[in-house]
Structure 1
């Protein structure tokens, strides 16, 4: 690993850690494109992203716990179905052509742009008028969706778990973000163990990314939530749009070379 690659990985991990603490996501939407840009295969990128996400999400969750903002009961209820569905996601990822994974990941990024806005609308909506869902089914759906994305794309799954917690479980946005980050610890461990068994994991690259993420998560869980939600939302959605275009470009190159 060259010095330039080390700097890119550490910086990317730092940015992903900041996003993790701020938005309750694992940071894979940043890590996977970085690894693909460094010429690693999509399956290596998703596997290594999950390893880094373990370090990042543990860092952020410990900080949330120290500040009294982490409910372990909620985390476990969502984490069990998430861990199970993460295994399904990894299986599907190992059976898919690289360009298909990239196309699906690009689509996921575009969907996330809408989900971020959806999450903001849910924050200000009147929960008394929202439909009530069966709590057991809602928890399985929320955790399962996050776990599936974690295994399939190397993301934490928080980008879907946060809005689903708000919609199905009627949680407040800050509680949903903090719970999501805790669940991501479980999903990332589940996916990483399977990916390591399949031989797709890049250990050193994942550790470097994770160490950067550890620092970033500490920063964002303490300071960045004080920023206006509107500013953070606009920046994040713009970032996702640019990333999606780049991932579609990489998918086209991968398809041309297949």
Structure 2
């Protein structure tokens, strides 16, 4: 019972992060399932089954708050579904001994990308309003869908930063559109896993509690996306993913590191993680201060113009 409650809380927290940041539900949930000994294919299948419900709830919530561009959803979601089905069948064909470290490497890479991307660069906002073309979104969806299924997460970490980097869509619409399109990816990946491993290796009680936690969090996250600092959240989530998957790799048969080596690795990662969060907080405050100064300057210019117009009249 305690494990189910913990999974429900993880589902809630993961969806809260995913709905606010546009990524990390699958990465966070799969990382935990691997940490408690679930085999790679079953972990990814469990998460994707839960995501059918959470992404539907998240997509509806984002749509109600005006955060979804349906043209983007169609252009990236359909290729994403194809990639997810291929990734699920590929992962299902790997042995457990090979699949677990491979998935941890993918998750570790995604965690590092999230940490560096949001700590160093924040959210780009140039080129807003320019169209996102199918020749960019279709290959992106195909790759993101494949990575998502094989890594137990990756749709958001691959898709969201790439679209944000284009600067052609407002950040809240990028997050809402990526979350809404993930519904198609979750369905396709789940079908692929049913073909690959069947249903006997999936704990449907775990699916249910992950789903329940995520559904509760979805509307809250859709509201928070307008208020929470993505830069700080991205740094925090990236560090969690890195630390957890480094632990999995160091304890795997591939490396089998000693206790001393593991301790040193954890301390180094924790120090880098803390520095990244501190840097993100500082940069966020600096950006807010600059925005306040710019707003004040514009207001002063407006008042000066009004005074000149009054004086000339």
Q: If the TM-score is normalised by the length of the shorter chain, which range does it land in?
A: 0.7 to 0.9
- Residue in 2 that maps onto 1:121: 121
Alignment of 1:30-49 (within 5 A): 30-49=28-47
- Number of the residue aligned with 1:171: 169
Equivalent residue, structure 2, for 1:28: 26
For residues 226 and 66 of structure 2, the distance between their equivalents in structure 1, rounded to whole angstroms, comes to: 16
TM-score by length of 2: 0.71
Pairing 1:227–2:225 present: no
SS at match of 1:226: coil
CA contact (8 A) 2:68 2:174 kept: no
What are the residue-to-residue correspondences of 1:83-102 with 2, within 5 Å? Answer: 83-102=81-100
Gap runs ≥5 in structure 2:
258-313
Change (3 A) 1:168 1:215: same
Q: 1:122, 1:184 → 2: CA distance?
A: 23
Greater RCO (Cα-Cα under 8 Å, separation 6 or more): 1
Corresponding residue number in structure 1 for 2:179: 181
The alignment status of 1:141 with 2:139, answered yes or no, reads yes
CA distance in 2, matches of 1:67, 1:142: 26
Over 6 Å off, 4+ runs: 253-256
Q: 1:58 to 1:147 in 2, by over 3 A?
A: same
- Figure out how many residues of one structure are paired with residues of the other and give that number: 251
Q: Show the counterpart of 2:56.
A: 58
Which whole-Å CA distance do the structure 2 matches of 1:26 and 1:217 have between them?
Answer: 13
Structure 1: runs of 5 or more not aligned: none
CA deviation after TM superposition for structure 1 residue 55, in Å: 1.6
TM superposition shift of 1:136: 2.7
Cα distance in 2 between the residues matched to 1:207 and 1:156:
21
Given that 2:16 and 2:217 are in contact with CA atoms closer than 8 Å, whether structure 1 keeps it comes out as yes
Secondary structure of residue in 2 paired with 1:123: coil
Change (3 A) 1:76 1:254: farther
Question: How far has the Cα of 1:83 moved from its partner?
Answer: 0.6
Distance 1:29 1:151 in 2: 10
Q: Kindly tell me: are residues 214 and 252 of structure 1, through their superposed partners in 2, closer, same or farther at Cα, counting changes over 3 Å? A: farther
CA distance in 2, matches of 1:238, 1:69: 27
Task: Report Cα offsets for 1:34-65 as digits up to 9, x if no partner.
Answer: 22233321111111010112222111111111
* Alpha carbons of structure 1 residues 255 and 28: separation in structure 2 relative to 1, 3 Å: farther
Query: C-alpha separation between the residues in 2 aligned to 1:125 and 1:222?
Result: 20
Q: Is the contact made by 2:127 and 2:167 (CA closer than 8 Å) also made in structure 1? A: no
Quick check: 2:85–2:188 contact (8 Å CA) kept in 1? Answer: yes
Question: What is the match of residue 307 of structure 2?
Answer: none
Question: Structure 1 residues 179, 134: closer, same or farther in 2, change over 3 A?
Answer: closer
CA RMSD of aligned residues (A): 2.8
**Take 2:244 and 2:117, find their aligned partners in 1: how far apart are those partners?**
20
Distance 1:214 1:92, change over 3 A: same
Change in 2 beyond 3 A, CA 1:122/1:220? closer
Task: State whether residues 21 and 230 of structure 2, in contact with CA within 8 Å, keep that contact through their aligned partners in structure 1.
Answer: no
Q: TM (normalized to structure 1)?
A: 0.85
